[in-house]
A = this chain, B = another copy of it.
Amino acid sequence: MTHSDATWFHENFAATGSAVGFRVVRKLDEVQSPFQKIEIYETTDWGNLMLIDGAIMLTSRDNFLYHEMMSHPALFTHSNPKRVVIIGGGDCGTLREVLKHKEVEHVTQVDIDEQVTRMAEKYFPELCDCNADPRAELLFDDGIAYMQNAAPESLDLVIVDSTDPVGPAEGLFNQAFYQSCLNALRPGGILVQQSESPLAQIALIRAMRSAMKDAGFQSLRTISFPQPCYPTGWWSCTMARKHGELNVFRERGAASKAFTTRYYSLDTHRAAISLPPFVFEALEQKP
């Protein structure tokens, strides 16, 4: 492949003082929705690239890491997840992973911005190939209001697959939102939320965990995994459980799962919960 017309796109991430970038061939599309600007680029080595308000959301090549790790660890920690809500997740990649679990009876995806899904259908069609599953429901609505109005004790798992805590996603990172999630979860239910870089944004993870605890969640667990397109290339999500522990998961289920994954496995699940000493210390989370 020659790259005579290629240029470099860099996202300079002010909060971490670090940048991530990709070599791009051309801009494929751009739309200004009522909420944000969505851009799609073709890259030389990473397939298509989606930006929202200039921030890298996903590439074709590495999104499987994030989507698998936002879903399978929480699903294999819950004993029998039947009803799932995804807040955000408009690219439908997390939805696709959740639907791989046959015991899941219903998944509602609530993204405020329909244009994210329309762009994903066009430029990341592989992520949307389960959208017609009869168990899947796609809503384009305010996730904060959706969780406030959700029936009490009606859900097993809430996955918050959002952008950074600025703009439309800001209200997804506070105690009031977590309280809504707690109310909507059944006993043993789990909230899992993307929680940024464990090296560069530990203060944000601490604040999230503190707000989850204050909302009444009984146990917390932050896990980590690689994600090259996000700042520092090392990412995390944090699980919070209504009742019960987060120290164990269905290991036999993970080992004998009937579907294919590229990153997730019994071993990488164990690896994800094996945080290094400096993170355990910063989070005051026991190994």
A interface residues (Cβ-Cβ under 8 A, vs B)? 8, 10, 12, 14, 16-23, 43-46, 61-62, 197, 199-200, 224, 226-228, 232-234, 261-265, 267-268, 270-272, 274-278, 287
Contacts and interface: CB of A to CB of B under 8 A. Distances in A.
15 contacts: A10-B21, A17-B22, A17-B45, A18-B46, A19-B21, A20-B233, A45-B200, A200-B228, A226-B233, A228-B233, A233-B234, A262-B276, A264-B277, A265-B276, A268-B276
Complex copy number for this chain: 2
Contact of A228 (B62, B234, B277): B234
A50 to B, nearest CB: 16
B16 A8 contact: no
Contacts of A272: 271
Contacts of A270: 270-271, 274
A21 B22 contact: no
A263 B234 contact: no
A21 B16 contact: no
Contacts of A12: 8, 21, 23
Contact of A46 (B17, B46, B274): B17
Nearest to A233: B233
A229 to B, nearest CB: 8
Contacts of A262: 276-278
Given A46-B17, A200-B228, A228-B18, A261 B233 contact: no
B267 A274 contact: yes
A67 to B, nearest CB: 13
Contacts of A264: 276-277
Contacts of A268: 274-276
Given A10-B19, A233-B234, 10 more contacts: A14-B23, A17-B43, A17-B45, A18-B21, A18-B23, A19-B21, A20-B233, A224-B226, A228-B232, A234-B234
Contacts of A44: 17
Contacts of A224: 226
Contacts of A234: 226, 228, 233-234
A231 to B, nearest CB: 8
Contacts of A23: 12, 14, 17-19
Contacts of A21: 10, 12, 18-21
